[in-house]
């Protein structure tokens, strides 16, 4: 838009109308949820079922998944919900603080560490084969965030435990297999124990043109753990001290939480996802401190959302 166009729109008041419409859109879309992320949903019976296909690594990338460590806990000064610098092999103030507490020998300190421990999440590109609760997603390419339990099933498929089982590459277009995602509620958490891979079959009937088009729709996975998705050590340390009550919080808890989410979001091109903060999945509830489920980060955050 040229400067003359900007001046013309200003005189007509159209810029104000446009901004108002954008705000209304944000308010009605639940805070601008990332449409690139796919999430399974439970049906009326309280169970969930979907069929997905894990996709190969995007063009020019080596791995078909990305791994992210994060922390989510509440302290006297508010909430700490941040990506951990240990994801990329760096030093992180929470990990260092937890190490000090654990080595104190005090059982109360160890309980605190358990509440503040790292949460592990994985991201992968998927093709949605079947989504009964949201059929409009079928045939689409999305990013899927999942926990260690599902990742273990992926690894078991590639490295089966018994010699009569044939290893497969779940991320392969031609020699991979659909993943039947089965969810049940167990002790208030989403449980994925019944999920399993189907028999080996090519995706899209081995139509190479269609597969290539699908492949080109994938989202970058290296962007998930890029440098702009993490705050600096110094900023994280300041936030940690504030949450621990070592200095007055600058705002009320809810305002600080919202501000930190906004500050963690980085403006990136539309083809790149923003993973610096999660909105609905990081809803503030008292359940954050009570989770002891290390196996599945997705179940952990689902507990938060409830």
DSSP labels, 11-42:
HHTHHHHHHHHHHHHHHHTTTT--TTEE----
- 56/225 Cα distance (integer angstroms): 18
Whole-number pLDDT of residue 188: 86
Contact 94, 102 (CB under 8 A): no
Lowest-confidence region among 25-29, 97-101, 187-191, 217-221:
25-29
Whole-number pLDDT of residue 52: 98
Question: Over the chain, what is the mean pLDDT?
Answer: 81
Position with higher pLDDT, 186 vs 13: 186
Residue 48 has pLDDT above 50, yes or no: yes
Q: Per residue in 224-280, pLDDT tens?
A: 999 999 999 999 999 999 999 986 545 444 444 444 444 444 333 334 444 444 433
What are the structural domains, with CATH classification, of the chain? 37-305 (3.90.198.10)
Whole-number pLDDT of residue 194: 96
Position with higher pLDDT, 215 vs 267: 215
> Which residue, among 204, 199, 218, has the nearest Cα to 157 in the 3D structure?
199
Whole-number pLDDT of residue 7: 55
Contact 72, 304 (CB under 8 A): yes
Residue 137 has pLDDT above 60, yes or no: yes
Q: If pLDDT is split at 50, 70 and 90, which confidence band does 35 have?
A: confident
Whole-number pLDDT of residue 102: 96
Position with higher pLDDT, 250 vs 145: 145
Whole-number pLDDT of residue 12: 60
Rounded to an integer, the average pLDDT of 99-128 is: 96
Q: Per residue in 89-112, pLDDT tens?
A: 999 999 999 999 999 999 999 999
Residue 164 has pLDDT above 60, yes or no: yes
- 69/47 Cα distance (integer angstroms): 28
Residue 185 has pLDDT above 50, yes or no: yes
Each as own residue / partner, the long-range contacts of residues 58-61 (CB below 8 Å, 24 or more positions apart, any chain) are: 58/125, 58/215, 58/218, 58/219, 58/220, 58/221, 59/215, 59/216, 59/218, 61/220, 61/221, 61/222
Enter the pTM of the model: 0.72
Whole-number pLDDT of residue 17: 61
Contact 233, 93 (CB under 8 A): yes
Residue 66 has pLDDT above 60, yes or no: yes
Q: If pLDDT is split at 50, 70 and 90, which confidence band does 22 have?
A: low
Whole-number pLDDT of residue 187: 87
Whole-number pLDDT of residue 264: 43
Rounded to an integer, the average pLDDT of 203-225 is: 94
Residue 287 has pLDDT above 50, yes or no: no
């Amino acid at each position: 838009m040229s400067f003359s166009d900007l001046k013309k729109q200003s005189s007509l008041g159209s810029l104000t109308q446009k901004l108002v419409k954008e705000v209304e859109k944000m308010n009605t879309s639940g805070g601008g949820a990332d449409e690139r992320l796919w999430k399974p949903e439970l049906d009326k019976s309280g169970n969930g079922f979907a069929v997905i296909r894990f996709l190969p690594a995007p063009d020019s990338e080596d791995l078909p998944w990305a791994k992210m460590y994060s922390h989510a806990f509440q302290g006297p000064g508010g909430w700490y919900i941040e990506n951990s610098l240990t994801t990329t092999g760096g030093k992180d103030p929470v990990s260092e603080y937890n190490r000090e507490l654990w080595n104190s020998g005090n059982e109360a300190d160890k309980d605190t560490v358990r509440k503040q421990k790292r949460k592990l999440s994985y991201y992968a590109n998927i093709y949605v084969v079947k989504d009964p609760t949201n059929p409009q997603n079928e045939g689409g390419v999305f990013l899927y965030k999942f926990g260690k339990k599902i990742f273990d099933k992926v690894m078991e498929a590639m490295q089966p435990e018994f010699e009569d089982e044939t290893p497969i590459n779940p991320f392969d277009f031609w020699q991979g297999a659909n993943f039947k995602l089965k969810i049940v509620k167990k002790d208030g958490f989403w449980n994925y124990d019944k999920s399993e891979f189907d028999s080996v079959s090519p995706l899209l009937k081995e139509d190479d043109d269609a597969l290539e088009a699908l492949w080109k729709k994938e989202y970058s996975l290296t962007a998930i753990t890029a440098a702009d998705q993490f705050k600096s050590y110094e900023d994280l340390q300041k936030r940690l001290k504030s949450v621990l009550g070592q200095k007055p919080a600058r705002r009320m808890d809810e305002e600080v939480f919202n501000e930190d989410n906004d500050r963690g979001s980085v403006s990136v091109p539309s083809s790149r996802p923003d993973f610096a903060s999660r909105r609905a999945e990081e809803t503030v509830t008292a359940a954050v401190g009570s989770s002891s489920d290390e196996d599945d980060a997705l179940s952990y955050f689902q507990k938060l959302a409830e």
